Structure 1
């Protein structure tokens, strides 16, 4: 029996879309130890029932960092949708460096290197800090999640065949969260192959009108797109008590999408097959996969 230590891989955001799906992709790899980071004891039982080790890590409580990072070799960083992501990322990276973490996979956001979309740029500043700190790294920059057409902000995004979005007729680049998680898992499992890489992840460029046409054809019921003014989003975030330093940036980027002033908003990439050996999910594939959820 080998006494070789298996690399310990810590997944933050373990209960979220990307984190949970990344864990699912890694569980079959018996050469790794997978640890789910959760921010409260109430989250532990569900992971333990599946045989997944857990640690308590609260991004807003730096006293939880040392124990959570003990013995960790590789780290997936997934932060939340507040401006605190900047402080949180720096703090966790500083602790990770002290703990001896070797490889960091960071879930960032859309955008070319010269983006001026504020919250996308924040993620790029985190990328630079990771590099400056001397980690081996893989940067992930997913485009718009296809899952957003199922629900957004905790609410259904499509009601009775009516699609609402805040971008007028803009063409967006899209990616299935399942595909993002596949890339994240491979980057964590095989850092020697993926170190030093920035992977932009977007594989289909589609307008909401085109999406409605696809849904109508695939599901066999009428769908149509009714654009909303970005101001509707802004007011909904204010009413919900959201953290407005971040959501104000999201409001501004909806305005820029609608005005057509985000360079590369519809950029797509051909890297998925090279990274995974598979073909990425396109929008029509996604609609077929989630037909039951989209039907009405």
Structure 2
């Protein structure tokens, strides 16, 4: 699925981990006119040497967006992590439309909705609406929680022997960042029309199962401890997690409790040509990071 490999394809936020993976996938799959958008073009000497055009692109700078999207046929907008990302991303959508971009691919989140209580998830909802309202064709990729995040969570769980969550036993269909980046690149290369896809791993995994995997791989006993959302929020804030991030993490747990993260789709295989990596295989491949 590479029918648009000779179109001008832009990846925003290309300096990030996701962005670099997406650009690498486009190169590997034969894309001939790749534009890497970044706030700091000096970081891309390696990609420029492989024929990638590097442009300064800052979602807080209207002039850079006009220049960054100029002549682009299809664009992958990678969601930002800024406190004002709704404003940033809706501005980017407007700039893309003004520049004549024909198709937008956007990295969203599962069960995107406008509720103020769900923190950053609402940013994805409003960005999705801006894209739909633009009249452009689009592919909205609602990426489920990265398997990579379990490595971060494992450090405290392995140290304390306890894995805290507010999922009420609900499963999460973890998907690796690499699989989601390949999926996004595949959508940029081949998607048509107006579509929304949940991007998931091969099967949901409960926190009880995750605790068992951590125990098995490290030899250190880890028990899953179920909490309410309020209890988890208080614990995260007490541990020094910023309130915004703590609220987002709790919202993800409560969505899992409601079943929104137990979805399984074939989006990864459809757009990347590869089956998604199971969480157990991901953790086994990253065993050294768990025991570091």
Same fold at TM > 0.5: yes
Structure 1 portions without partners, runs of 5+:
239-243
Shift of 1:114: 9.0
User: Structure 1 56/294 Cα, relative in aligned 2: closer, same or farther at 3 Å?
Assistant: same
User: For residues 86 and 112 of structure 1, what CA distance do their matches in structure 2 show?
Assistant: 13
* Between 84-93 and 113-122, the greater mean CA deviation after superposition: 113-122
Shift of 1:57: 1.0
User: Structure 1 81/225 Cα, relative in aligned 2: closer, same or farther at 3 Å?
Assistant: farther
Shift of 1:226: 5.6
Shift of 1:113: 6.9
User: Structure 1 135/156 Cα, relative in aligned 2: closer, same or farther at 3 Å?
Assistant: farther
User: For residues 253 and 267 of structure 2, what CA distance do their matches in structure 1 show?
Assistant: 29
- Do the aligned partners of 2:114 and 2:123 also contact (CA within 8 Å) in 1? no
Give the structure 2 partner of residue 241 of structure 1: none
Deviations 1:76-107 (A, max 9, x none): 11122344111111111111111111110000
Give the structure 1 partner of residue 147 of structure 2: 146
Give the structure 1 partner of residue 235 of structure 2: 232
Give the structure 2 partner of residue 291 of structure 1: 287
User: For residues 251 and 31 of structure 1, what CA distance do their matches in structure 2 show?
Assistant: 36
- Do the aligned partners of 1:158 and 1:294 also contact (CA within 8 Å) in 2? no
Alignment of 1:15-94 (within 5 A): 15-94=15-94
- Do the aligned partners of 2:180 and 2:268 also contact (CA within 8 Å) in 1? no
The yes-or-no answer on 1:216 pairing with 2:215 is: yes
User: For residues 273 and 287 of structure 2, what CA distance do their matches in structure 1 show?
Assistant: 26
The yes-or-no answer on 1:123 pairing with 2:124 is: yes
Deviations 1:226-283 (A, max 9, x none): 6583223235234xxxxx5x4364155156358x3x3423222244444444322111
- Do the aligned partners of 2:212 and 2:222 also contact (CA within 8 Å) in 1? yes
RMSD, aligned α-carbons: 3.0
- TM (normalized to structure 1)? 0.81
- TM (normalized to structure 2)? 0.82
User: For residues 23 and 41 of structure 1, what CA distance do their matches in structure 2 show?
Assistant: 14
User: For residues 13 and 236 of structure 2, what CA distance do their matches in structure 1 show?
Assistant: 25
Shift of 1:198: 0.9
Give the structure 2 partner of residue 133 of structure 1: 134
Give the structure 2 partner of residue 189 of structure 1: 189
Structure 2 portions without partners, runs of 5+:
226-230
Deviations 1:97-139 (A, max 9, x none): 1111111000001117798734323312211221211111100
User: For residues 156 and 252 of structure 1, what CA distance do their matches in structure 2 show?
Assistant: 18
- Do the aligned partners of 2:78 and 2:106 also contact (CA within 8 Å) in 1? yes
Give the SS at the match of 1:247: helix
- Do the aligned partners of 2:200 and 2:268 also contact (CA within 8 Å) in 1? no
